[in-house]
Chains A and B, each alone.
Chain A
Amino acid sequence: MDPVVLNTLEVILNGLMAGVMYSLVALGFVLIFKASGIFNYAQGVMALFAALTLVGLQTGQVPFAHLINAIFGTQLHHFGWELPSILAILGSMAVMILFAFLVERYILKHLVNQEPIILFMATIGLAFFMEGFGDLMWGADIKKLDVGLPQGGSFWLEEQTAGWASEGSDYYGMYIDVLDVWATMIAVALVVALTLFSQYTKTGRALRAVADDHQAALSVGISLRAIWVIVWAIAGFVALVAGIMWGAKLGVQFSLSLIALKALPVLMLGGFTSIPGAIVGGLIIGVGEKLFEFAIGPMIGGATENWFAYMLALLFLVFRPQGLFGDKIIERV
């Protein structure tokens, strides 16, 4: 085969992988939007907070060490023990559940039946709060996240594909990051688990009922508040997964919260209310932006990915204003 074809294939493959990583972040948005109509601006910060908590627990950091030291003049920073990854993940999960409970108790409960933009603003306040709180609790420094996931280019694929190119051409085999393959498997598992949960459990059915119609759900005795806690806890879990996958790439630091920006075009394209939409949208955006950067980028100076993702989503929206899989917008006067 011609190396150009192979290179294009490689770009597409890696685009798909990048897309999965975007989807992981987008999933959290969709879950909350579907169940409560809230566009959760704090999702990125939740991922950061979850990852910070995970690393903090793993390495035995003293929470609020800096604050305590400043007030009492002590010299605390670490407890001196290290938790195994699995315990730390469970611990972070517990923290995210507690977080979901507190959000419902102190914010959402008071804002029932408000307009979407007000709820959106409330999540912005929440994001500000968590940014400050997370840094105060675990410090603003960069941390290495290691839960034992493999990382690096795959030798296997490289060797398999190196011979595909036509004789005499410079071709080094195809590249794929093992971490991305893991991310894909985890994303698939996550979507399957979410689907099973919402199809076959009682809580899951309640969730879907709430997503369909708040008032009807209320009238058959489903507790909206309990559902919201559950949804935010699940979104917290998804944020933890996204935080782990992205944190392995970036290190755990403030910029981790900016991954939310990569998820927005995915949401737009896939529709705010559809879980398959988040996945398919992610894949389309991933492939689209990578191909554009590969083919057109060099001609217009590169670094096009940030805006092209949005342009691509915009293009789709012009034809389907509710996103690919979003609920049809029905308008009545």
Chain B
Amino acid sequence: MKTGAFTAMAAATMLAAAPALADLVIPTLNYRTGPYAPSGIPYADGFSDYLRLLNARDGGVGGVPIVERECETAYNTEKGVECYEALKGEGALVFIPQSTGITYQLIPKATVDQIPVHSIGYGRTSAANGKVFEWVFNYPGTYWDAASIIVKYAMDQSGGSLEGKKITLVYHNSAYGKEPIRTLEDLAKKHGYTLNLIAVDHPGQEQKSQWLQIRRERPDFVFMWGWGVMNQVAVQEAANIKFPMENFIGVWWSGSEADVKPAGDGANGYKAVTWHSPGSDFPLYADLKTHVYDKGNAAGDGTKVGEVLYNRGVFSAIVTTEAIRKAQEIHGVAQITPAMMRDGMENLDITAERWAELGLPGFTAPIKISCADHGAPGLAAIQQWDAAAQKWTIVSDFYTPDEEVVQPLIEADSMAYASENNITPRSCE
């Protein structure tokens, strides 16, 4: 049996591992199945559609076509590792793990293999310190940025001060959910609010106790770091206890259409932090329509276009391809390697004008990455759900994170990692 399986497997992997070195290979570790599929599908659609647009309209990046290698992870870490090992040999330029668990797996492995890892708004927050994490990027922002921005927004909403206010954090009881706790605790000291933590165990289909507690305590604000089915239930329960939805603010993974639609009208007014606009009122979407959707080449069934997570997929595809462009520019070759890709990512500079050129004026804040800061710019705004119109709208300006609180935390955590793993930080000069 052992040997039999061996030969069968060998045959199968031989076929799978045909290298395609003549193109720009971008692996996509999607999760279109499993418990988190509702979040994974629109993101994967957006990402693929943009790459297909580039191939159809411009013939790829710098004249080299992009080859997208899709690998289904179902949000499972072991499957993610399998995908990484299968695709790293195919000349993958960058890995976008699409899961915090897989990111933690890949950080040490990819550093050794010298392939950049880009966790876009998730993963290990302290990887923003480029001096320690040479191969890991998490721009455009981290959870700690998000936490400090939500606090700033709440402060603006309550007239400039949070002194004596009560804030409750409802969080997914996992590595991801625990991320903002330290930041919020430090900010509580700074701004004088009291912080109350309520954990929800995975998967979180039953949150009656938690919301009864919130109902009893009547906090001024509820923040949420939720994921999967927990989001839908929390929004529903918040609506049920008639918590004022405009004071209920989620992180960017708790603020998509899938999270609010099941709750119907009750979800009206719910807010979430985001770093890019929702909606499809951008010139880019006209291009997508002519070159991708109308040719029957779309990755999905077309119902997701313009959704928050679809746009996030488009955003990810743009920062990835722009980094390729940058790398080609720096090194003067069209066919880049993962190491060149890393340089491209580290010198990435997408100005507001460039965003407009790309067909997305005002879509998001300008991005400029540096050797020391892999998590820039950290800007984000607040969006609100309108249940009648069935859409998210941005209701605030872009905020800057509270660097004073966030930076020391990043410094401390990344240095702890460096000493545990015997890394000498780069100087970055």
Contacts and interface: CB of A to CB of B under 8 A. Distances in A.
Q: Do A and B come from one complex?
A: yes
Interface stretch (B76-84, B107-115, B125-133, B194-202): B194-202
B16 interface: no
A177 B198 CA distance: 21
A115 interface: no
Given A142-B261, A301-B199, A246 B205 contact: yes
A188 to B, nearest CB: 20
Nearest to B39: A142
Interface stretch (A195-203, A270-278, A290-298): A290-298
A14 interface: yes
B240 A152 contact: yes
Contact of B261 (A10, A65, A251): A251
B426 interface: no
Contacts of B205: 246, 249-250, 255-256, 258-259, 262
A255 B206 contact: no
Given A75-B296, A144-B262, A152-B266, A255 B209 contact: no
A interface, how many residues as a size bin?
A: 35 or more
B241 interface: yes
A316 interface: no
B99 to A, nearest CB: 16
Contact of B206 (A18, A175, A253): A18
A153 interface: yes
Nearest to B42: A141
B209 A305 contact: yes
A135 B198 contact: no
Given A140-B37, A140-B41, A303-B199, A175 B241 contact: yes
B263 to A, nearest CB: 8
A151 B239 CA distance: 10
B258 interface: yes
B233 interface: yes
Interface in B278-308: 296, 301-303
A7 interface: yes
Given A75-B296, A152-B240, A301-B199, A172 B229 contact: no
B241 A255 contact: no
B229 A250 contact: yes
Q: Is the interface of A mostly helix, strand, loop or mixed?
A: helix
B35 A297 contact: no
Nearest to B171: A303
Given A172-B215, A303-B199, A250 B262 contact: yes
Contacts of A208: none
Nearest to A6: B216
A246 B206 CA distance: 10
B183 interface: no
B59 interface: no
Given A7-B216, A144-B262, A251-B262, A297 B209 contact: yes
Contacts of B35: 253-255, 258
Contacts of B416: none
A11 interface: yes
A316 to B, nearest CB: 20
Contacts of A249: 205, 233, 236
A141 B199 CA distance: 26
B203 A255 contact: yes
Contacts of B242: 152-153
Contacts of B203: 255, 258
A142 B38 contact: yes
B332 to A, nearest CB: 40
Nearest to B257: A142
A302 B199 contact: yes
Interface in B178-231: 197-201, 203, 205-206, 208-210, 212-213, 215-216, 218, 228-229
Contacts of B261: 142, 144, 251
Given A142-B261, A151-B240, A172-B218, 4 more contacts: A143-B262, A152-B266, A250-B233, A297-B209
25 contacts: A11-B209, A14-B208, A14-B212, A21-B206, A65-B301, A75-B302, A135-B33, A135-B37, A140-B32, A140-B33, A140-B34, A142-B232, A142-B262, A144-B264, A152-B239, A250-B205, A250-B236, A251-B262, A253-B38, A254-B34, A256-B205, A258-B205, A294-B213, A302-B197, A302-B198
Q: Which 5 A-B pairs have the closest CB atoms?
A: A251-B262, A142-B38, A255-B229, A140-B37, A303-B199
Interface of A: 7, 10-11, 14-15, 17-18, 21, 65-66, 69, 73, 75, 77, 135, 140-146, 151-153, 170, 172, 175, 177, 246, 249-251, 253-256, 258-259, 262, 289-290, 293-294, 297, 301-303, 305-306
